[in-house]
C-alpha cells in the first residue's frame, strides 16, 4: 500500500507543477517523459541494483578517504578538537571544506573539471532533448553549486532572454556544491547523498520545464565559454591562496547561518509556545504548539504522499519544513546519530530530501548573484517569480525523495 501511495505522490508532485505552470500548452511532454524515465533508471540503479549500490558505496568511501586527509590538517592545528571525544558539527562537517574547496578549484584551474562538466552536459542534452546550456548548467551546478555556477556562466546568461534566465534561477534552487558533499557524508549516509545529487539535477530540469516552458530556436541553442575571454589567468599559488581564503569564508558563513537560524527558530518556537499556551490557558485548556508544529502542518500531506506511515510522516514533515525555513545543516545536525536506525524507506526519504540548497536564504543568494550579471529588466523579471522559485526547489526535493523511496523498503 505504501508503495502505491509513493507512486501517487510522484504524480501529485508533477501535477502541482502543471497547475502552477506559466504556459501549460507548451510543456514538452516528450522531453519530460524521457527525464522521468531517466530518473527511474538512476534511482533503481543506485538504490536497488547491486552494481549500482556498489558504485555509490565505493564513491562514498572515496569521499570519506579524502575527508580523513582533511582531518590530518585539522588535527595539526587543533588536535584537541579531533582526539578523545565526539567532534562538534563545525569540526566534523565543516572544517574539511578547507581541503575540498581548494581541491575542486585546482581541478577547475587545470581545466579537468570544465571538460568533465561539458562532456556530461553534452550527453545529458542528447539523451533528454533539453537545450544544451540548461543541461550543461545542471551538471555545472552539481559540481560547483548555484552561485558559483551562475558566476562562471555569466557570459551565457548575458546573452539569454529573461524566460531562460528564470529557468536557470529555478534550477539553481536545487543544487548542491561538490565541495559541500564532504560535509554531508559525515552526517547522513554517503550513498544516499551521492544518489540524490544526480537525481536532483534531472528533477530540476523536469520541474523547470513544466513550470516555465520555453521554446528555443536552433540559433539560440549554443553554449558559450565558461568564463569571459578577457579574464587573466592567475599564477597557481596566488590562485590557491585565494581558494583557501574563500574556503575559510565559506566555513565561517555556514557556521554563522547555522547558529543564527537555529537560535532564531528556537526563539520563534518559544514565543509561539508562550502565546498559544497563554490562549489555551484563557480557554481553560492545557498545552500549546510551536513553530515546528505549524510548519509541519503544511508539509504533512506531502510526507504522507512519500509513502511514510502516519506516525513517521509527522516528524518528517516538521524536519522538511525546518529545512526549507532554515537550511539542511540544521536538520542534518538533529538527525545525525539516529538516521541509520530509521527503517530503509524513512532513511532514504528524509536523507535525499535534505540534499539541496532549497531554502529561503538561497533565493536571496540567487537573486543577488543575478543582479550582478544580467540587466535590470531581466533581474526584475526573475524577482517577480520568487514564489515559483521556492516552489521549484521544494518540488525537486520531493521528487528526488519520491523516486529514491520507490526502491528503498
Taking the C-alpha atoms of residue 180 and residue 143, their distance in angstroms, rounded to an integer, is 10
Return the closest-CA partner of residue 105 out of 236, 250, 8. Answer: 236
Return the closest-CA partner of residue 197 out of 179, 178, 183. Answer: 178
Strand partners, 177: 144
Q: Kindly state whether residue 230 falls inside one of the protein's structural domains.
A: no
Taking the C-alpha atoms of residue 18 and residue 160, their distance in angstroms, rounded to an integer, is 24
Phi/psi zone of residue 84: left (φ > 0), alpha (ψ -120 to 50 degrees), beta? left
Looking at residue 24, the DSSP 8-state letter turns out to be: G
Secondary element (H or E) of residue 203: helix 190-211
Range of the domain at 17: 2-224+235-405
| Number of structural domains in the chain | 1
Q: Kindly state whether residue 214 falls inside one of the protein's structural domains.
A: yes
Cell of 409: 523498503
Quote the pLDDT of residue 93. Answer: 62
pLDDT string in tens for the chain (409-residue length): 788 999 999 999 999 999 999 999 989 899 899 999 999 999 999 888 888 888 877 777 787 788 788 888 888 888 877 775 566 666 766 777 788 778 878 887 888 877 777 787 778 777 877 787 888 888 877 776 777 677 767 778 888 889 999 999 999 888 776 667 777 887 888 889 888 988 998 999 999 999 999 887 777 677 765 554 555 778 888 888 888 888 888 778 767 776 776 687 778 888 888 888 888 888 877 777 777 778 788 899 999 999 999 989 999 998 998 888 878 888 888 888 888 899 999 999 999 999 988 887 788 778 877 888 788 899 889 989 988 998 999 999 999 999 999 998 8
Contact yes or no for 290/269 (Cβ under 8 A): yes
Give backbone dihedrals phi and psi of 297, rounded to 5 degrees, phi first. -60, -40
Quote the pLDDT of residue 84. Answer: 59
Q: Kindly state whether residue 229 falls inside one of the protein's structural domains.
A: no
Quote the pLDDT of residue 369. Answer: 77
Taking the C-alpha atoms of residue 255 and residue 40, their distance in angstroms, rounded to an integer, is 36
Return the closest-CA partner of residue 74 out of 105, 96, 49. Answer: 96
Quote the pLDDT of residue 224. Answer: 67
Taking the C-alpha atoms of residue 369 and residue 150, their distance in angstroms, rounded to an integer, is 7
What SS3 class is residue 177?
A: strand
Return the closest-CA partner of residue 389 out of 133, 212, 198, 254. Answer: 212
Tell me the helices (H) and strands (E) count for the chain, helix number first.
Answer: 21, 0
Strand partners, 144: 177
* Per-residue H/E/C for 313-327: HHHHHHHHHHHHHCC
Cell of 260: 543564527
Taking the C-alpha atoms of residue 20 and residue 107, their distance in angstroms, rounded to an integer, is 40
Taking the C-alpha atoms of residue 154 and residue 374, their distance in angstroms, rounded to an integer, is 8
Secondary element (H or E) of residue 146: helix 146-152
Taking the C-alpha atoms of residue 20 and residue 31, their distance in angstroms, rounded to an integer, is 19
Quote the pLDDT of residue 203. Answer: 94
Give Cα 12 distance to the centre of its chain: 21
Taking the C-alpha atoms of residue 73 and residue 263, their distance in angstroms, rounded to an integer, is 30
Q: Kindly state whether residue 244 falls inside one of the protein's structural domains.
A: yes
Taking the C-alpha atoms of residue 154 and residue 389, their distance in angstroms, rounded to an integer, is 20
Quote the pLDDT of residue 347. Answer: 94
Amino acid at each position: 500500500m505504501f508503495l502505491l501511495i509513493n507512486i501517487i505522490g510522484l504524480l501529485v508532485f508533477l501535477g502541482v507543477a502543471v497547475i502552477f505552470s506559466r504556459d501549460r500548452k507548451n510543456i514538452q511532454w516528450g522531453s519530460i517523459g524521457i527525464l522521468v524515465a531517466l530518473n527511474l533508471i538512476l534511482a533503481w540503479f543506485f538504490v536497488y541494483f547491486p552494481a549500482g549500490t556498489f558504485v555509490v558505496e565505493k564513491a562514498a568511501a572515496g569521499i570519506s578517504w579524502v575527508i580523513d586527509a582533511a582531518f590530518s590538517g585539522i588535527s595539526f592545528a587543533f588536535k584537541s578538537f579531533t582526539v578523545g571525544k565526539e567532534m562538534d558539527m563545525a569540526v566534523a562537517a565543516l572544517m574539511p571544506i578547507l581541503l575540498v574547496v581548494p581541491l575542486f578549484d585546482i581541478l577547475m584551474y587545470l581545466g579537468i573539471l570544465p571538460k568533465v562538466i561539458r562532456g556530461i552536459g553534452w550527453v545529458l542534452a542528447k539523451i533528454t532533448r533539453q537545450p544544451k546550456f540548461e543541461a550543461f548548467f545542471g551538471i555545472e551546478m552539481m559540481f560547483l553549486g548555484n552561485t558559483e555556477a551562475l558566476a562562471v556562466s555569466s557570459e551565457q546568461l548575458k546573452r539569454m532572454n529573461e524566460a531562460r534566465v528564470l529557468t536557470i534561477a529555478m534550477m539553481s534552487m536545487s543544487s548542491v556544491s561538490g565541495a559541500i558533499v564532504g560535509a554531508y557524508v559525515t552526517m547522513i549516509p554517503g550513498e544516499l547523498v551521492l544518489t540524490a545529487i544526480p537525481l536532483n539535477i534531472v528533477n530540476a530540469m523536469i520541474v523547470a520545464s513544466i513550470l516555465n516552458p520555453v521554446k528555443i530556436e536552433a540559433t539560440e541553442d549554443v553554449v558559450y565559454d565558461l568564463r569571459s575571454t578577457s579574464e587573466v589567468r592567475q599564477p597557481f599559488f596566488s590562485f590557491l591562496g585565494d581558494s583557501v581564503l574563500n574556503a575559510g569564508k565559506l566555513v565561517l558563513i555556514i557556521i554563522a547561518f547555522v547558529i543564527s537560524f537555529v537560535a532564531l527558530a528556537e526563539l520563534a518556537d518559544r514565543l509561539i509556545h508562550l502565546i498559544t499556551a497563554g490562549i489555551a490557558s484563557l480557554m481553560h485548556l492545557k498545552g500549546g504548539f510551536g513553530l515546528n508544529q505549524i510548519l509541519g502542518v503544511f508539509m504533512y500531506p506531502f510526507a504522507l504522499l512519500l509513502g511514510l506511515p502516519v506516525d513517521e510522516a509527522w516528524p518528517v514533515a516538521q524536519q522538511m519544513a525546518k529545512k526549507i525555513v532554515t537550511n539542511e545543516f540544521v536538520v542534518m545536525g538533529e538527525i545525525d546519530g539516529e538516521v541509520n536506525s530509521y527503517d530503509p524507506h524513512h532513511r532514504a526519504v528524509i536523507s535525499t530530501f535534505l540534499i539541496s540548497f532549497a531554502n529561503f536564504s538561497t533565493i536571496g543568494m540567487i537573486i543577488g548573484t543575478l543582479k550582478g550579471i544580467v540587466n535590470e529588466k531581466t533581474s526584475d523579471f526573475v524577482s517577480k517569480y520568487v514564489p515559483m522559485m521556492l516552489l521549484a526547489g521544494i518540488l525537486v526535493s520531493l521528487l528526488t525523495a519520491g523516486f529514491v523511496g520507490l526502491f528503498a523498503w
